Amino acid sequence: MAKVTFLTDVCKGCGLCVNACPRGLIVLEKEKINKKGHSPAGITDESKCIGCACCAMMCPDCVITVEK
């Protein structure tokens, strides 16, 4: 199982990672707001993540880390 970590205080909520996830597991957290005033990205079900790291590669601010 892969472990996905987000630096939520740095995320600007651009949504590029949401579109990059082949399983559709990455979402923008509508109920959370970070220090910059954005809705940060998060994962819905980490147990279904295949660890492809497409989300991390797409992130322009390098806020996502994927570990296998």
Domain boundaries, given as residue ranges, for the chain: 3-67
- Alpha-carbon distance of 54 to 25, in angstroms, equals 12
More reliable by pLDDT, 42 or 1: 42
Chain segment 42-63, per-residue pLDDT in tens: 999 999 999 999 999 999 999 9
Percent of the chain with pLDDT over 90: 97
Q: What is the pTM of this model?
A: 0.90
Strand partners, 6: 64
CATH architecture of the domain with residue range 3-67? 2-Layer Sandwich (3.30)
Buried b (16+ CB within 10 A) or exposed e, 11-38: bbbeebbbebbeeebbebbeeeebeeeb
Strands of the chain, DSSP E:
3-6, 26-28, 41-43, 64-67
Is the pLDDT at 26 greater than 90, yes or no? Answer: yes
- Residue 1: the pLDDT is 83
